[in-house]
Amino acid sequence: MEKPKVFAPSRSKYLVFTADYILPIFLSLAVLTLGYVALYSPVFKVNNILCSLDFRPCDDPNLLAELNKLIGQNIFSLKSSSVTSRLTSGDFTIKNAELRKELPGIIKLELESVNPVVALKLVGDHTWIVLDSRFRVISRRETDPNVPTVMIKQPLTLVVGQPPKDEDVVSTLKLAQKLSDELFTVKTITLISEDNIEITLTSGIVAIFTPKKDELAQLRLLQVVLSDATITKGVSTIDVRFAQPVLRP
């Protein structure tokens, strides 16, 4: 008896696309295209950097030069943590840095300065030069930093990241820091002369010190006077340059 023939379809000589082939190929091409556009298209290159330091536009030339290096880089391949770490480690005046990306090519950088300890202010000027605990210049501000301020009568040449070179000014800054730690009520300190320093307290009372005597002894004497409200009633000036304080209305 003759065996039944089994039908076996032969392979087509032509490439036939079906949904089983088209969908994976389409997805692969789409992923590759999107990846290429995201990483290599000029659309996603950094073209604008908006930088603020303590809520004011950044103006330090060295900082701006460093940020300009980011122009033209791909915004997706740019590592935010790497940029912020480089800025905080390379500049002691920057305490915190936060970077945000806005497509297609905008970077927003918000910087925060280190906390000021004292400040310098030229008599008659409306800006403050804030300094850190090592008296290094942090920045210039147009608002009161709420730290003891040393008033000076002559302009100084100051460099960001470095302390003032004038020894008298540095000595007065050290006194300002000591007074701030002990009194917490110091508003301004004015270097009148090499023998006379006037300290204005938040209460409005003016204390007169001399840098040529033990500053700590003068400070303790001032504290004793201020501790008695009956003594300071009606007093506007306390001179502690002598063994006994001199009170003036």
Please check whether residues 216 and 238 belong to one and the same domain: yes
Per the model's pLDDT, the better-predicted residue between 19 and 221 turns out to be 221
- Tell me whether residue 217 is in a domain: yes
Please check whether residues 161 and 196 belong to one and the same domain: yes
Q: What pLDDT does 228 receive? A: 81
Assigned token pair, 163: 């302390």
Please check whether residues 125 and 55 belong to one and the same domain: no
Please check whether residues 135 and 219 belong to one and the same domain: yes
* Tally of domains in the chain: 2
- Tell me whether residue 13 is in a domain: no
Please check whether residues 66 and 154 belong to one and the same domain: no
Please check whether residues 123 and 232 belong to one and the same domain: yes
- Tell me whether residue 59 is in a domain: yes
- Tell me whether residue 27 is in a domain: no
38: amino acid identity, one letter: A
Highest mean pLDDT among 16-30, 31-45, 125-139: 125-139
Alpha helices (runs of H) in the chain, residue ranges in sequence order: 19-40, 61-68, 80-90, 167-182, 215-226, 229-232
Of 77, 78, 73, 138, nearest to 112 (Cα)? 138
Please check whether residues 155 and 242 belong to one and the same domain: yes
Whichever domain contains 93, its CATH number is: 3.10.20.310
Q: Which of 73-82, 99-108, 132-141, 227-236 is least confident?
A: 227-236
Please check whether residues 142 and 103 belong to one and the same domain: no
**Domain range holding 62?**
42-113
Q: Which helix (H) or strand (E) holds 200?
A: strand 196-201
pLDDT in tens, 121-167: 988 888 999 998 889 998 888 888 888 888 888 888 888 888 998 88
Please check whether residues 106 and 145 belong to one and the same domain: no
Please check whether residues 86 and 199 belong to one and the same domain: no
pLDDT in tens, 76-86: 888 889 899 88
Q: Answer left, alpha or beta for residue 234, where phi above 0 means left and psi between -120 and 50 means alpha.
A: left
Rounded to the nearest integer, the mean pLDDT of the chain is: 81
Task: Quickly count: other Cβ atoms within 10 Å of residue 115's Cβ.
Answer: 12
Q: What pLDDT does 9 receive? A: 54
Q: What pLDDT does 109 receive? A: 93
Domain-ending residue, one of 86, 113, 140: 113
Q: Which of 7-11, 86-90, 146-150, 209-213 is least confident?
A: 7-11
The three-class DSSP label of residue 80 is helix
Q: What pLDDT does 63 receive? A: 86
Please check whether residues 134 and 219 belong to one and the same domain: yes
pTM for this entry: 0.60
Whichever domain contains 185, its CATH number is: 3.40.50.11690
Q: What pLDDT does 108 receive? A: 94
Please check whether residues 193 and 221 belong to one and the same domain: yes
198: amino acid identity, one letter: E
- Tell me whether residue 151 is in a domain: yes
Domain-ending residue, one of 113, 141, 164: 113
**Taking 80 as the threshold, does the pLDDT of residue 182 lie above it?**
no
